[in-house]
């Protein structure tokens, strides 16, 4: 299997609407999650580049759709966090509409990572996105982040509860955990993304 060298990932561009994305012959992976769920931290650890994505303690700081090149045939699309953003309502609606259109129609979309703070339960917009993806043939990782902020017992309970709620959808969804302090967590995520890439190109 070809293990992807994520440390070569580079920023390509920022866009406001997914209609600005040109046709792409490779594969794209979308990174989604509520504001302050840890998307920027995960991307920085994934790529071993602390400056790749801006990390903020305040929710709603990522206001554009950021496109990253992992390699010429592999991109990561980082969407603004939804839910608690400080941006105005009209802009928020436009971003959500653009996201839903992308998830439904983007042909090169092959995988989605949905990040969720492990301290909270599964939220309505996450469920809505999963239901949209149920109609698509894409791989899905549901990543529970900030696991270093809860006890081992709480971590086990939360993982079990999330898996139980997701199982109702009758979808093939892999639930993983992530802490920026755990090398094993990021190795597992890198492995899954590499598998996605290899499965697509070996068809």
Confidence of residue 55 (pLDDT cuts 50, 70, 90): low
6-202 CATH: 3.40.50.300
Question: Which run of H or of E encompasses 28?
Answer: strand 27-33
Give the whole-angstrom CA distance, residue 145 versus residue 44. Answer: 14
pLDDT, tens digit (0-9, with 9 covering 90-100), for 95-140: 788 899 999 999 999 999 999 999 999 888 999 999 999 999 899 9
114: exposed, middle or buried (Cβ count in 10 Å: 0-12, 13-18, 19+): buried
- Tens digits of per-residue pLDDT, 57-101? 444 445 689 999 999 999 999 998 886 555 566 666 777 888 999
* 145-191 per-position pLDDT tens digit: 999 999 999 999 999 999 999 999 999 999 999 999 999 999 999 99
Q: Where are the domains of the chain?
A: 6-202
Query: Which residues sit opposite 113 in a β-bridge?
Result: 31, 141
Rounded Cα distance between 35 and 3, Å, is 30
């Amino acid at each position: 299997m070809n293990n992807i060298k994520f440390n070569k990932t580079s920023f390509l561009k920022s866009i406001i609407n997914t209609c600005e994305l040109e046709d792409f012959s490779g594969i794209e992976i979308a990174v989604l999650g509520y504001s302050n769920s840890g998307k920027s931290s995960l991307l920085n650890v994934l790529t071993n580049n602390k400056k790749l994505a801006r990390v903020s303690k305040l929710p709603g700081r990522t206001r554009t759709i950021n496109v990253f090149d992992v390699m010429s045939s592999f991109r990561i699309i980082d969407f603004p966090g939804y839910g608690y953003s400080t941006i105005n309502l009209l802009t928020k609606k436009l971003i959500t509409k653009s996201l839903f259109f992308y998830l439904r129609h983007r042909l090169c979309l092959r995988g989605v990572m949905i990040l969720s703070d492990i301290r909270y339960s599964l939220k309505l917009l996450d469920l809505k996105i999963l239901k949209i993806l149920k109609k698509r043939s894409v791989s899905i990782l549901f990543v529970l982040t900030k696991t270093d902020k809860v006890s081992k017992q709480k971590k086990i309970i939360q993982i079990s509860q999330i898996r139980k709620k997701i199982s109702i959808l009758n979808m093939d969804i892999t639930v993983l955990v992530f802490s920026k302090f755990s090398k094993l967590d990021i190795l597992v995520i890198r492995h899954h993304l590499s598998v996605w890439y290899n499965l697509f190109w070996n068809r």
